[in-house]
Structure 1
Amino acid sequence: MEELVAGIILALVLLAAIRRPFGWNEAAVGVPAAALVMGIGLVPVEAALATARQLLPTVLFLAAILAFGHLCASAGVFDHLGALAGRASAGRPARLLLLTVGLAAVTTAVLTLDATVVLLTPVVWRTAQRVGAPRRPHLYACLHLANAGSLLLPVSNLTNLLAFTASGLSFGRFAALMTLPWLVTCLLEWLALRAFFRRDLPDPDRDNAVAVVPHDPAPRYALTVLVLTVVGIGVASALGVAPAVAAAGGVLLLAVPRLLRRELTPRALVLSANPGFCVFVIALGVVVDAVTRHGLGSALENALPDGEGLAALLVLAFVAALLANVVNNLPATLLMLPVVAGHPIAVLAVLLGVNIGPNLTYVGSLATLLWRRLLPYADRPRGGQFHALGALTVPPVLAAATVALWASALLL
């Protein structure tokens, strides 16, 4: 009965986060649900507080990097990069797709998948429209590289931050092990998009159109702060300093001048960190703990293989992907990490599954649902096309990325 009640509460929380009834923030349901599981004894209060303390550093970093991404956007970083891609494409849709894949992969790696979904996607939409390229392939590229491309750094995704903590790896070691899987994933995603949308992408040899994209001065200060912040996060992690400190430094460097010029208000700065979602993450951790304590955790532990051989890594990756498409990738991460804790390569295999797997269905990640809501109605994906592309890409990309991780672990 306790397992059933915990599962129902988790399902309701996820449904509310996905549907957002009455425009409610996720925390409006997540916090009462966390209080409920404590109130009825599914999770002891002491354990809930321990979960909150464990997640707090990760959530603080998430808040800082979300605010940093919005400040970069308001400084014109994404508009500048979009204009560069538009001019470099020379009006050729196939070339623009390649540039979009690269831009989305790098943006996701450095500024999280939320920056790609919320801030880069509108820029790509405008750029494709300006150069006369079909918008749909480039919009799909933003989504697929937001999810599957968020493998490289601990900062690329909230799931990465959770896995980074559980793995015990250093920032540099994490990045080194995930570089080959990230490159393989980005390459295969580009090839799949190129093949799937081949009719929408004219032969570049016959396409002599010239892109006309406005040229604005580069936001040099913001770009410099961006580079310094990314380097600072890596250095801070290597020195044992919380990455949130370096991210907060980047926020201050971008925000203080704008606050002094009254171009930004403190309230807008706080809201850019999405505090409601940050609180929701902690509340969700408590709710997932209730499910883990009452059956699912032990079931996963008994069902999943031990070790870090190739076969075991493939099973972990595909189970994580399946679970992500059933209960969303954030709860799937919270459910599976305790099972593989202490085995760094196994943790990374789970991460492959919860990051690449969500491209299969709408409910795989909250980022996918947000991406779909943000698109103009005419450009929203058709269900058949979305799932067909997911079925084409997810299994082979996930298998290849897992093999690449296994090879990286042997070589490094």
Structure 2
Amino acid sequence: MLVFAIVRPAGWSEAVVAVPAAAVVIAVGAVSTSDATAEVTRMLPVVGFLAAVLVLAKLCDDQGLFQAAGTWMARGSRGTPRRLLGQVFLMAAATTAILSLDATVVLLTPVVLATVRTMRVPARPHLYATAHLSNSASLLLPVSNLTNLLAFSTAGLSFTRFSALMIAPWVAAITVEHVVLRLVFRRDLAVVRAEAPPLAPAKPVFVLVVLGLTLVGFAVTSLLGLSPAWAALAGAVVLGVWSLVQRRSTIGGITRSVHLPFLLFVLALAVVVKAVMVNGLDHCAADLLPTGGGLAALLGIAVLAALLSNVVNNLPAVLVLLPLVAGSGPAAVLAVLIGVNIGPNLTYVGSLSNLLWRKVLRDHDEPTTVREFTWLGALTVPACLVIAVLALWAGVQLIGV
């Protein structure tokens, strides 16, 4: 399943193999029908939430939000690559946190590439910023990543408590990424003559207001004991109607943005991982996991999660580890999240977003290498993991769980 999802021969969807694979493990008795049904039922709210956020991101793109972001970055850079990198960091961090990592990879990365080409500055530091932040900047909100949605449902925290505990690790990881990328690409970021900044963009005020209200809705629904998916759905409906009236979106485009085959892949993957778990992987993984909520245990959990992400991809890794750490409390769950969100920056196979980012660059004739990606990951991932876990531990000591 994972190899097919990574390679995707002839552009076929991940679901082509995943759905039959789930049927096979049920048919041979590797997992009972009742367990498989229970796993799918548990995942449905998470998948529904993901679908609503994907639609919301696509509607923001239709309304010109990302094109405006490109212009803002170019104007804010004042023609220098170093300032542009800072603008890309701000935009990528915000996009990943609010609209998920997929929006950063699929919608923001092409805009960043077009911006650097227009300004005639080196592309590598800015493109690696979008790649790394699509993973490491997805720590902040439950909506930022599918792994976050899974951890959110397991941790038993409110939306605001989750975000309060993760804001320090989020800032820490982004800061480390920025420092390392500036050092590594210091020659590319040297002052060069860039093109004059473009004219001020049109301000997508309505889109920003809807996004702001949707974020407020996430917190309100959580306080009321409702799924934040309702807030995401409301934001998507409002923005969808507005975009259809303006003829900037189509029913077909909105429907395709749900990415139904990928959602089926997620559900099927959950069933297959459940089968692997009940047939021995749960005991093997449990023997390796540290216990408790101390700093050493949280570091060990995060490191194991990061390593597992680069062996089997971060989505299966989080499905494997969350049931095992759920009994150790929310801090352990969030440590897993730090590992599976930061760890994938080490290798291409660490997350599907890495592979999608690579495809985006290939489609735009922008070269990249496995060696450079891995080398840069080796410089950032260990430092980000340690500092983010320290920030999480400090937050737990300060505000509790």
Q: Please indicate, yes or no, whether the TM-score normalized by the shorter chain is above 0.5.
A: yes
1:394 aligned partner? 381
Q: Structure 1 residues 184 and 220, CA, compared in 2 at 3 Å: closer, same or farther?
A: same
| Cα offset, 1:210, TM superposition | 6.0
Contact 2:22 2:268 (8 Å CA) reproduced: yes
Out of 354, 377, 389, the position equivalent to 1:368 is 354
What does 1:11-410 align with in structure 2 at a 5 Å threshold? 13-203=1-191, 207=192, 209=194, 211-342=196-327, 343-376=329-362, 378-410=365-397
Structure 1 range deviating more: 355-364 or 367-376: 367-376
Letter in 2 for 1:121: T
CA distance, structure 2, for counterparts of residue 260 and residue 213 of structure 1: 29
| Cα offset, 1:262, TM superposition | 4.8
Letter in 2 for 1:398: L
SS in 2 for 1:150: helix
Deviation track 1:138-181 (CA, whole Å, cap 9, x = no partner) reads: 01000101101100011100000000111011111100110110
Contact 2:59 2:249 (8 Å CA) reproduced: no
Contact 1:149 1:186 (8 Å CA) reproduced: yes
CA distance, structure 1, for counterparts of residue 50 and residue 119 of structure 2: 35
Question: Which runs of at least 4 in structure 1 moved beyond 6 Å after TM superposition?
Answer: none
* Uncovered stretches (5+) of structure 2, i.e. residues with no partner: none
**TM-score, with normalisation over the residues of structure 2?**
0.97
Pairwise CA RMSD: 1.3
Identity of counterpart residues, as a percentage? 53
Contact 2:118 2:195 (8 Å CA) reproduced: no
Contact 2:62 2:243 (8 Å CA) reproduced: no
Deviation track 1:340-382 (CA, whole Å, cap 9, x = no partner) reads: 0131000000000000000000000000000000114642311
| Cα offset, 1:300, TM superposition | 1.1
Deviation track 1:249-294 (CA, whole Å, cap 9, x = no partner) reads: 1111111133345543322211111111111101000000011011
Contact 1:136 1:379 (8 Å CA) reproduced: no
Letter in 2 for 1:277: F
| Cα offset, 1:19, TM superposition | 0.6
* Number of aligned residue pairs: 397
Structure 1 range deviating more: 64-73 or 23-32: 23-32
Contact 2:62 2:248 (8 Å CA) reproduced: no
Structure 1 range deviating more: 173-182 or 296-305: 296-305
| Cα offset, 1:233, TM superposition | 1.4
1:8 aligned partner? none
CA distance, structure 2, for counterparts of residue 29 and residue 225 of structure 1: 38
Letter in 1 for 2:353: A
**TM-score, with normalisation over the residues of structure 1?**
0.94
1:7 aligned partner? none
Deviation track 1:298-343 (CA, whole Å, cap 9, x = no partner) reads: 1111221110101101110000000000000000000000100131
Structure 1 range deviating more: 361-370 or 100-109: 100-109
CA distance, structure 2, for counterparts of residue 152 and residue 273 of structure 1: 23
Letter in 1 for 2:346: L
